[in-house]
Amino acid sequence: MKHLLSAADLDAATATLVLDTAAEMASLAGREVKKLPTLRGRTVVNLFYEDSTRTRISFEAAAKRLSADVINFSAKGSSVSKGESLKDTALTLQAMGADAVVIRHPASGAPHRLATWVEGSVLNAGDGTHEHPTQALLDAYTMRSRLGRLAGLKVAVVGDVLHSRVARSNVALLATLGAKVTLVGPPTLIPVDLRTEVCYDLDSVLSDTDVVMMLRVQRERMNDSYFPSEREYARRYGLDGPRMRKLPEHAIVMHPGPMNRGMEIAPEVADSARSTIVEQVANGVSVRMAVLYLLLGGKS
C-alpha cells in the first residue's frame, strides 16, 4: 500500500489486514507505555484545508504514538491562506522530506491530485463529498469488535448520503467486507446509483438491522430544498428513543460525529449503551496507527 486515497481501492485482504493491525495497535495502546519506536525519523505532515480538530488530533496522536515527527500545516495562518496552490504546497512538503501527507480538503479528489505531485504517501483524511477512508475503517473496526464479524451484517446508513464522504467510504468498504448496506433517507439526499439497497422509510428497516449509522445532516441543506424543515426531518429520519427500541437487542448505533443532537439523533440514543460514538473515537487512533504503519513501516 503506497497511498490511502479511497476505501473503494481496498481489497478485502488489505482491509482486513488494516483491521487486524489496528487490533494489535489497540492492545498496545492499553499499556502504560503508549509510544512505540516504529516510525522514528519519519515525518508525517497534517495538511488540513478544513477545520477538523478531531480528525487532525486523531492522526496526530496516531503518528506520535509511533514516534513519527508530526508537522501540522493548517490552511489558517500559513501560505495556504495566501492563495498558494496545492501543487506549490505539495512541492514545499516534498522539499521538507515529508514521508506521508495526511490531507483534509474541501475539494473532492484533492488527495488524488496531491499524490501525483509528492513522492511520499498520501492519506485521505476527508475530501469534499468524496471519501473519508479512515473513518470507514474505524467504523468497520468498531462493528467487528462489537458484533464479532462484518460478513453478513445488515447496516443501515441513514441521512444525507448525497453529501457524505463518510457514507461513500462506508458503502465501498462494507461491500468489500461482505456486509449488506441499506441507504435510508429522503430521496433528495440518496443517490440512486451507488449500487446498493435504498429505502425511504426508516421505520421499516429498524427491526431487521444490526447497525444503524446516523449521518450528520447539515441544517443548510434545508435552504436548498433537500427537505422542508428540521422538524420534519427529525420526525421522518431522526433516531429517537421509540425508534431505537425497535432495533434488535444486539444492534448498535453509530455516528461519525459531530452530532446534531435532536436533529438526526436524540440525546437519549446518543448516550445509550447501544451507542458506539465514544468507542469510535478511541478506535480511530488505533486504525490510523495501523494505516500509518502499513504505509510507512516498510521499504518506501
Partner 1 sequence: MALPEAAQSQPKTILTSTDLQRVVDRIAHQILEKTQGAADTALMGIPTRGGPLARRLADRIRTFEGVDVPVGVLDITLYRDDLRRQATRAIGPTEVPPGGVDGRRVILVDDVLFSGRTVRAALDALSDIGRPRSVQLAVLVDRGHRELPIRADYVGKNIPTALAESVRVALVETDGVDEVKLFGGTQ
Partner 2 sequence: MNAPHKYLIKGVSVLGRPKTDLLIQDGVVAEGDAKGAEVVDADGLVALPGLVDLHTHLREPGREDAETVESGSRAAALGGYTAVCAMANTSPVADTAGVVEQVYRLGREAGLVDVQPIGAVTVGLAGERLAELGAMATSAAAVRIFSDDGHCVSDPKLMRRALEYVKAFGGVIAQHAEEPRLTEGAQMHEGEVATRLGLTGWPAVAEEAIIARDVLLAEHVGSRLHVCHVSTAGSVEVLRHAKARGVRVTAEVTPHHLLLTDERATSYDPVFKVNPPLRPASDVEALRKALKDGVIDIVATDHAPHAVEDKECEWAYARPGMLGLETALSITLSVLGEDWDLIAERMSRAPARIAGLDGHGHDPVPGAPANLTLVDPAARRVVDPAESASRSRNTPYAGMTLPGRVVATFLRGTPTVLDGKAVK
Using the rule CB under 8 A, is 274 a contact of partner 2? Answer: no
Please state the closest distance from residue 193 (CB atom) to partner 1, in A.
35
3-state helix, strand, coil in the chain (%, to 5): 45, 15, 40
Q: Please check if 82 is assigned to a binding site.
A: yes
> Which of positions 117-156 make contact with partner 2 (CB under 8 A)?
127-131
Q: Which of residues 220-259 bind partner 2 (CB under 8 A)?
A: none
Question: Residues near 298 by Cβ (< 8 Å), separated by ≥ 6?
Answer: none
Q: Which residue has the cell 507505555?
A: 33
Nearest Cα neighbor of 19 from 9, 31, 10, 32 is 10
Neighbours of 104 (CB within 10 A): 24
Is residue 110 a contact residue for partner 2 (CB under 8 A)? yes
HSE-up (13 A, CA, CB side) for residue 126:
21
65 is annotated as an active-site residue:
no
Tell me whether residue 255 is annotated as binding.
no
**Interacting span for partner 1 (CB under 8 A) from 21-29, 100-108, 168-176, 210-218:** 21-29
Q: Give CA–CA dist 209/232, Å, rounded.
A: 23
Give whichever of 50 and 240 is closer to partner 2, judged by the CB atom: 50
Active-site option among 76, 82, 116, 299 = 82
Which residue in 191, 198, 230, 297 binds partner 2 (CB under 8 A)? 191
Beta-carbon contacts of 32 under 8 Å, excluding residues fewer than 6 positions away, are: none
Q: Which one from 132, 144, 168, 274 is the annotated catalytic residue? A: 132
Residue 218 known to bind ligand? no
- Under rule CB under 8 A, residue 83 binds partner 1: no
> Within a 10 A sphere around the Cβ of 272, how many other Cβ atoms?
15
Shortest reach from residue 14's CB to partner 1, in Å: 11
Given 18, 86, 122, 125, the residue binding partner 2 (CB under 8 A): 86
Distance CA 202, CA 247 (A): 11
The amino acid at residue 233 is: Y
270 or 295: CB nearest partner 1: 295
For the question of residue 132 being annotated catalytic, the response is yes
Task: List alpha helices for the chain, DSSP H.
Answer: 12-29, 53-65, 86-95, 110-115, 133-147, 165-176, 202-206, 230-237, 241-244, 267-270, 277-296
Query: Judged by CB under 8 A, does residue 1 bind partner 1?
Result: yes
Ligand-binding site membership of 144 (annotated): no
The 3-state DSSP class for residue 41 equals: coil
Determine if 30 is a binding residue for partner 1 (CB under 8 A): no
Q: Which three cell numbers stand for residue 85?
A: 496552490
Q: What residues are labeled active site? A: 54-55, 82, 104, 132
Annotated binding residues for carbamoyl phosphate, as ranges? 54-55, 104, 132, 135, 257-258
* Chain residues that interact with partner 1, rule: CB under 8 A: 1, 17, 20-21, 24-25, 27-28, 31, 33, 36-38, 66, 293-295, 297-300
Residues near partner 2 (CB under 8 A): 8, 85-87, 105-110, 112-113, 127-131, 165, 168, 191, 193-195
